[in-house]
């Protein structure tokens, strides 16, 4: 039986036009060569970490869904994800497709038990991070009610706005944010749309 080499895809990103992808690509190609893998695709983006739309990442995930490769190579976790929640979502997507993830600078390789454990712990931390945002917001609203402040259709407080923006940055939908924070969908939509415009996301 002939063992075919694993097929690898590279994803690389820089934040500005003034930066260069060459160093990331060169090192990740070397990682693939040392492992005896075949690089079948290289997807790149020039976009800040806060930018919601990244065409290269979208193409990489689309190719993953088509099972065009077995492993994804990235230089660093900050190149791949905008937040911890975003990282876990990408990891879960790849894991469901039985595609491994190698994060070079972090030494994470989901082909190993240690790499899988690390990513699972990241999932726990992401859930904790989101739960704490929700808990702080609810506590703030409870204190406001205790002082006799109106909660509901009154102007949205800074704490709630900050929580909505943070959850939006982590990739949650407007409806999900409204459910998690127990606020009106109109409030969530208004703050999220303003946040998206700031990030340059098409409406």
Active-site residue identified among 15, 48, 78, 106: 15
Tell me how far apart the terminal alpha carbons of the chain are, to the nearest angstrom.
53
Give the whole-angstrom CA distance, residue 142 versus residue 140. Answer: 5
Q: What is the 3-state secondary structure (H, E, C) of 16-71?
A: CCCCCCHHHHHHHHHHHHHHCCEEEEEEEEECCCCCCCCHHHHHHHHHHHCCCCCE
In the chain, the number of structural domains is: 2
Task: Note whether 97 and 163 are same-domain residues.
Answer: no
In the prediction, which pLDDT does 80 show?
85
Q: What is the mean pLDDT of the chain?
A: 81
Q: Mark whether 86 and 18 lie in a shared domain.
A: yes
Residue 15 bears catalytic tag:
yes
Check whether residue 64 and residue 146 sit in a common domain: no
Question: How do residues 97-122 score in pLDDT, each as one tens digit?
Answer: 889 999 898 888 888 888 777 777 76
Question: Are 110 and 119 spatial neighbours (Cβ–Cβ below 8 Å)?
Answer: yes
**Residue 2 domain-assigned?**
no
Residue 127: predicted pLDDT: 62
Task: Please tell me whether residues 11 and 107 are part of one structural domain.
Answer: yes
**For residue 1, what pLDDT band results from cuts at 50, 70 and 90?**
very low
Residue 163 domain boundaries: 124-198
Looking at the structure, do residues 11 and 67 belong to the same domain, yes or no? yes
Q: What is the mean pLDDT of residues 8-31?
A: 86
Task: Give the global pTM.
Answer: 0.58
* Average pLDDT estimate for 78-99: 82
Domain annotation covers residue 36: yes
Please check whether residue 119 lies inside any domain of the structure.
Answer: no
| pLDDT tens string 123-156 | 656 665 666 677 777 777 777 777 766 555 555 6
More confident call, 31 vs 47: 31
């Amino acid at each position: 039986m002939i063992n075919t080499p694993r097929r690898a895809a590279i994803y690389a990103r820089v934040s500005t036009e003034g930066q260069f992808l060459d160093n990331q690509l060169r090192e990740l190609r070397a990682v693939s060569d040392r492992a005896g893998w075949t690089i079948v695709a290289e997807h790149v983006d020039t976009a800040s970490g806060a930018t919601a739309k990244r065409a290269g990442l979208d193409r990489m995930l689309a190719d993953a869904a088509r099972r065009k490769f077995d492993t994804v190579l990235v230089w660093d976790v900050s190149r791949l994800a905008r937040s911890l929640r975003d990282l876990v979502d990408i990891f879960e997507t790849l894991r469901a497709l039985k595609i491994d993830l190698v994060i070079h600078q972090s030494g994470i390789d989901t082909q190993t038990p240690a790499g899988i454990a690390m990513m699972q712990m990241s999932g726990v931390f992401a859930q904790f991070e989101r739960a704490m945002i929700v808990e702080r917001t609810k506590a703030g609203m409870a204190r406001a009610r205790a002082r006799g402040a109106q909660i509901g259709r009154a102007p949205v407080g800074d704490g709630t706005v900050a929580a909505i923006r943070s959850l939006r940055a982590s990739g949650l939908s407007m409806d999900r944010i409204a459910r998690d924070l127990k606020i009106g969908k109109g409030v969530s939509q208004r703050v999220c749309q303003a946040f998206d415009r700031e990030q340059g996301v098409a409406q």
